[in-house]
Structures are given as C-alpha cells and as structure tokens.
Amino acid sequence: MNQLKYCKPITAPDPLESYQAAINENPSNGASPGNRKKRSISEHTKYWLPGRTLKILVFEYNEHSFAAVKNGASKWLPYINLKFEFIEMDEQDIFASDERLGDIRVDFQHSFDNSGSSRLGTDALTGAHDLPSMTLGTNFDSPYFESTVIHEFGHALGLHHEHQHPDAGIPWDREKTYIHMAHNHKLSRAEVDANVFPLERSAFRTYTPYDRQSVMHYHVLNELTVGDWHQPANLNISEGDIAAVRRIYP
C-alpha cells in the first residue's frame, strides 16, 4: 500500500484579492509573456518579487516541527533568488497579533500525515492574516515528510502540479481514478479535475518542458491508467524543477 497521500493546493476565494496581492508583490505577475498586455484577474502568475526575503512563520508544535520545515523548505534556496527568514511562534501569540507575521504561515494537523496543502505563491498574502497558508502533517519521522515539505513549498513559490502539464500525456482511466480518489483520498470529482487531470494550455502562462521526474508530480498508480503507465513518487527536486525556478527567480 502506497503511504503517500495527495495534496490540494488552496485556492484563494476572492480572485480580485488574489490578483491585487500578486501585482502588488510583483507587477510582472499582471503582464502577459512577451508583451505589455494585462492579464485578466482570472489569469495571472503568483510569483514573489526576486531578491526579497520571505518570512516563514512556523506555528509551534513540538521539538521536531520547526527544524523539519526549515530543512525541507531550504532545499529550494540554492536555486532561487530569494531568502527565507524562519520564525517559530506559539499559536496564541499569532492569533493575538493584528499583523501578518509571516508571508508564508505553516501549521500542522495529524490528519495531513504524508500529505499537505498550500496556497499558490502570493495567494499566501490573501485572507485572514493569522490563518495558515500551508498545512503539513505531524509524522516528522516519515521518509516522505521532507519531500512533502519540498512539494508544498514548490506550490508556495508559485509552481503548479507537473502531472497536470498539458503535454504530460498520462493515459488516465478517468472513471477508475475518480473512484480511487474518492475512496482513498476523499476527493470529489471536481477536486480530481482540478488537482489530478491535465489542465488546458493557457496563453497567459509560460511553460517549461514536461518533467516526469519533478517533485511537483504526483505518483501515478498503474491501475489508474490505460495500458502500462505508472510513475513512482519523486522525493527530490529535479533538474527540470531547478530550471523552472531559476527562470522564475533569476
């Protein structure tokens, strides 16, 4: 039995707030590739401004949680023109503050063991200032925990799921996938469509070549595809991931 679960990136509920947060952080988020034409509020990138320091607020959990997040998140740092400042605080102190104490805010829930969720890039700046923008599990000794942190911080940097790349060509058996995801991961058909199956190509996005080895790629079970196609879990940042984030954060 594969112990990995699937993540669900958290969508900002207000598209206008998402757009404003993105362009206030980095004006190029609102411009289409190759020209000055503005994107609509439903089509924009969510990348942080290169060169800046992101405050990573970690909700205090136990003696292992802070180091586990820091170690996993820092795996991206050699490849991006960003710095991370890690802060650990008690939940009560976070809720007592009137300020947004972290650009990215990480909490922990046992129900998320071997999985996680995160807002995409600058969407972390939307919504209530004291609520987490990322949730991780509590099984810090799991061999999958660090790769989960890396994956969720990929989302926090603005990366989408790689298996949803329009060129992926994964021969999904859709009905089997719907049933499997509902039974094993409590995902609705709409959530499977949004987080598993390929997305249509958009003229407002810049694509790097499909990377089957990406840490942003789900593991794909053979029984969920037509023919003989499967993909084991990718636990580390790939060369394709490195090329992508270096392009985003030069």
Residue 150 has pLDDT above 50, yes or no: yes
41 lies in some domain: no
How confident is the model at residue 39, as a pLDDT? Answer: 53
Please state the domain count of the chain. 2
| In a shared domain, residues 183 and 59 | no
Q: Give me the helix-helix angle, 65-73 and 145-156, nearest 10°.
A: 60
- How high is the pLDDT of residue 91? 92
Do residue 196 and residue 231 come from a single domain? yes
Higher pLDDT, 12 or 230: 230
Of all residues in the chain, the percent with pLDDT exceeding 90 is: 73
Q: What is the pTM of this model?
A: 0.93
Sign (positive or negative) of CA dihedral 152, 155, 160, 162: negative
The region of weakest confidence among 27-31, 34-38, 59-63, 137-141 is 34-38
For residue 3, tell me if it sits in a domain.
Answer: no
Query: Between these two residues, 96 and 3, which has the higher pLDDT value?
Result: 96
Claim to verify: residue 144 and residue 100 sit in the same structural domain: yes
Residue at 166 is within a domain: yes
Assess whether 153 and 170 both reside in one domain: no
